[in-house]
Amino acid sequence: MEVALLNHPIVASLLTRLRDKNTSSVEFRIIVRQLTIFLGVDATKDLACREKVVETPVAEFRGVEMDASIAIVPVLRAGLGMAEPLFELIPQAEVRHLGLFRDEVTLQPVTYYQKLGDKPADVCLLVDPMLATGGTAIAAIDILKKWGATDIRFLAILAAPEGIAAVEAVHPDVKICLGALDERLNEQGYIVPGLGDAGDRQYNTL
């Protein structure tokens, strides 16, 4: 399994502000957008391209355009905050949706919504701010593979080692792109030091 970790001073500064319990939900959403752009650029740096010739105001130019269909798949609801900036970065992409939540008692994922369409994209960017136990990520990847997806890239702002190990054990072919890798999970299944509940902090439902 390939795990790509962002290493940039701007990312480190943004992550510090994101973790701060005093950061407002408005600022939290803005920072999630900013970090997602970094993740999106890094996760797609190896996409196949084909040649495209255009006319500049001065001369002909032989450039490129992407040669792959892309689906952005946010895990509802926290992943929604990452889908929009990715869509702005890749406006030709398609947006699909998966509704999953983690049962607070069993910590197991529960699927409540699925809207993927008929034809799988060449590349699926699965987005969820947190990779904690790995249960939700594994369930989402299972669904995408049943859909027919073969190139799945999971983008998360934070992850715990336990979550990465869980995904690797079941889906070693999936690339994981992270803003940061934290220390561990606590007894409640939350990432430590983490940032709390990403969905609640984005949408001010604490």
Torsions phi, psi for 24 (to 5 deg): -70, 160
102 is catalytic: yes
Bridge partners for 3 per DSSP? 176
Please enumerate in sequence order all residues whose Cβ is within 8 A of that of 201, keeping only pairs 6 or more positions apart, or say none. Answer: 23, 25, 28, 195
Say if residues 70 and 92 touch (Cβ distance below 8 Å).
yes
201 is catalytic: no
Picking from 99, 156, 166, 100, the residue whose alpha carbon sits closest to that of residue 131 is 156
151 is catalytic: no
106 is catalytic: yes
Please enumerate in sequence order all residues whose Cβ is within 8 A of that of 6, keeping only pairs 6 or more positions apart, or say none. Answer: 38, 39, 42, 177, 178, 179, 180
Among residues 122, 142, 151, 197, the one annotated as catalytic is 197
Among residues 122, 142, 151, 200, the one annotated as catalytic is 200
Please tell me what DSSP assigns to residue 46.
T
Say if residues 134 and 165 touch (Cβ distance below 8 Å).
yes
Rounded-to-integer distance, Cα 30 and Cα 70, Å: 24
Among residues 17, 19, 33, 102, the one annotated as catalytic is 102
Say if residues 116 and 99 touch (Cβ distance below 8 Å).
no
Could you list the active site residues?
Answer: 102, 106, 197, 200
